[in-house]
Chains A and B, each alone.
Chain A
Amino acid sequence: MSGGPFDGKAVITGAGKSQVGRRLMRGGLDLTLEASLRAIADAGLTPDDIDGVASYPGPGAPQRGFSGADVHEVRNALGLRTSWYMSGIETAGQIGPVIEACMAVTLGFANHVLVFRSVWESTAQADGGRASVLFDGGKLPPHMAWTAPFGALSPANWLALPAQRYMHDHGLTREHLGTVALTARRHAALNPDAVFRDPLSMEDYLGARMISEPFGLYDCDVPCDGATAVIVSRRDAAAGLPRHPLTVESAGTGMFERATWDQRIDLTTMAAHDAAATLWDRTTLTSADVDVAQLYDGFTFLTVQWLDALGFAAHGEVGALLEDGALLALDGDLPLNTSGGQLSGGRLHGMGLLHEACVQLWGEGQERQVGGAVGSRPDVAVVAVGGGPVAGAMLLSHG
């Protein structure tokens, strides 16, 4: 449909993923180029057609493995003649550059923008674990100066704090969080590319070792190596391309409070709530129109936050959605994280969720296709990524 912030002009015409796995021992740029070339070919384009490039986070990644390639590395390697490009981390989460690309094509700055995100955290942490990548040179990075002195070295610690408060204030339980993890694992079992596919029971979930209460092992996503890319095109430049273009109906980019992990006025909300508010402000669609949801699950509680923020339940009442997994199953009213999310599919850091939204809208989910059993596919997908002061959301349609 037309309307929305991009007036129907911004469309997704292709998507690609590299090999995804644990400790692949492949270089970040290698993975990035694999995903990029696959996305370009998927759109029916060649590198000569690509005149824009965008990526998160760009140079200066906070730790080793967090970024596989910069925009210029990809431009240089593929000899791209770009009329527009950007990268950044101060943007609407890991999909912020996709939203920037939508603006660029809408305004005529480019016809076909390659947007990529790549990580190689599994290989980077293979030798010494997470702590080994944080302190290159032995110095505390600035973003951890307020937390690491107190033994809080991981986002698991930072996000356990609001999770615990949400549980206290709103009656959310560990079983509710477990429903998010179990749903992801059930869907991963149907996705040959997922990292963890073995069955996971609620007993397994509750019995796993604790990381930072209320988070146990299965509340945390799995570091992996892999790259994801999509092609954002202007609709009139996409005529004749092989795929049905997916319309970007809206984008949520709001952040109304300071960018902190711990000073938000209501500790049981996050920047997600501001991004979601702007997403809905910019479209006539509502949460009731959503057929499939790909909601960030770096930790189970972040999916709870997005369900809350996007209005799938009244604030604080997400637990009711998670009483059992039926609602979130492929044949439920709100199929969730259909590729296994990051919890079981692998931590592709937001862009994997966008890739899966495209797969579902194109009806190519095979065994995990929403509506596949009855020969249909979803029309509207929401993608929302980030946690704490990181948040961005997109609404896509097949229309």
Chain B
Amino acid sequence: MAQTYTRPDFRLTPTPEGDDVVFWTGGEDDRLMIHRCRSCEQYFHPPAPACFRCRSRDVASEPVSGRGRVATFTVNRQPWLPTLPPPYVIVLVELEEQPDVRIFSQLVDVDPAEVRIGDEVEVFFEHWAPEGGTEVWLPLFRPVPPSVDAATVSGEDA
């Protein structure tokens, strides 16, 4: 059964520094920011001050579409934190722009039993401003809603 997304009361949030800050704050403008090399034009993640492929130092974060596919996933069933009751889906999303760049995240608004490798997903953000901590926007993913045409076709099949 699909689990409707509800924002948890608490999450462990990162305290980003340096090159990582843009990734964790891009959500303020609803943008998934991924490091890209301006020399070889390849994206890479996590952020770093050099392109590991061509070693150019001319790198910076750029907004990407926020769309991608499930590279792999796991349904977590162990309670680790009281505010995140299982089951929930932990996912690696491969970016639409470049599939060998993967984002570690959570897939919500989904029936854990129905998730498949290759599913299309899209980003949204959860804002956190922990007391005494750093303000961040966590990128989460949810299934891409089927287009009207696809919904019609599947309705006719049924």
Residues of A within 8 A of B (CB): 130-131, 135, 139-140, 144-154, 156-157, 160-165, 168, 209-215, 258, 260, 262-263, 265, 267
Residues in B with CB closer than 8 Å to A267 are: 71-72, 92, 102
Given A140-B15, A151-B106 in contact, is the A146-B46 Cβ separation under 8 Å?
Answer: yes
B100 lies within 8 A of A148 (CB): no
Which of A151, A163, A164: most chain B Cβ within 10 A?
Answer: A151
The CA-CA distance from A160 to B115 in the complex, in Å, is: 15
Q: Rank and list the top 8 A-B pairs by shortest CB-CB distance, nearest first.
A: A160-B74, A165-B72, A145-B14, A150-B106, A153-B80, A210-B77, A213-B75, A148-B12
On whether the beta carbons of A156 and B78 are closer than 8 Å, the reply is: yes
**A161 lies within 8 A of B74 (CB):** yes
Q: Closest chain B residue to A131 by CB distance?
A: B80
**Contact B80–A151 (Cβ < 8 Å):** yes
Decide: A168 near B117, CB < 8 A? Known: A145-B16, A263-B102, A267-B72.
yes
Residues of B within 8 A of A139 (CB): 15
**Number of A-B residue pairs having CB atoms within 8 Å of each other in the complex:** 106
Is B78 within 8 A of A150, CB to CB?
no
Contact in complex: B74, A157 (CB < 8 Å) = yes
Q: A154-B80, A211-B77, A258-B52 are in contact. Are A145 and B15 (CB under 8 A)?
A: yes
Contact of B124 with A by CB under 8 A:
no
Which B residues lie within 8 Å of A265 (CB)?
Answer: 100
Asked if B65 is an interface residue, CB under 8 A from chain A, the answer is no
A214 surroundings in chain B (CB, below 8 A): 74
- The docked-state distance in angstroms from the alpha carbon of A267 to that of B104 is 13
A140 contacts across to B, CB distance below 8 A: 12-15
Q: Are B14's CB and A149's CB within 8 A?
A: yes
Q: How far is the CA of A213 from the CA of B75 in the complex (A)?
A: 5
Instruction: List CB contacts (< 8 Å) of B43-87 with chain A.
Output: 44-46, 52, 71-78, 80-81, 84
With A140-B15, A150-B90, A150-B105 as contacts: A164 and B74 at CB distance below 8 Å: yes
Is B11 positioned at the interface, with any CB of A under 8 Å from its CB?
A: yes
By beta carbon, the residue of chain A nearest B88 is A151
Q: Give the chain A neighbours of B121 by CB distance below 8 A.
A: none
- Chain A nearest CB from B62 CB (Å) reads 18
A165 lies within 8 A of B117 (CB): yes
Q: Given the complex, which residues of B lie within 8 Å of A152, measured CB to CB?
A: 76, 90, 104
B34 at the interface (CB under 8 A from A): no
From A150, A152, A154, A214, name the one whose CB has the most chain B CB atoms within 10 angstroms.
Answer: A150
Cα distance, A262 to B84, chains bound together (Å): 22
Cα distance A157–B74 when bound, in Å? 7
Q: List 6 A-B contacts (CB under 8 A).
A: A131-B81, A145-B14, A150-B106, A168-B72, A213-B76, A260-B46
Q: Do residues A151 and B72 form an inter-chain contact, with CB atoms below 8 A?
A: no
Find the B residue at minimum CB distance from A139.
B15
In the complex, B37 has a CB within 8 A of chain A: no
Interface residues of B in 106-133 (CB under 8 A from A): 106, 117
Instruction: Tell me the complex Cα distance, A267–B14, Å.
Output: 25
**A153 surroundings in chain B (CB, below 8 A):** 12, 80-81
Q: B33 within 8 Å of A by Cβ? A: no
Whether A262 and B104, one on each chain, are in contact in the complex, defined by CB atoms closer than 8 angstroms, is yes
Please measure, in the bound complex, the distance between the C-alpha atom of A151 and the C-alpha atom of B13, giving whole angstroms. Answer: 10
Residue of A nearest to B85 (CB): A151
User: Which residue in chain A gives the minimum CB-CB distance to B80?
Assistant: A153
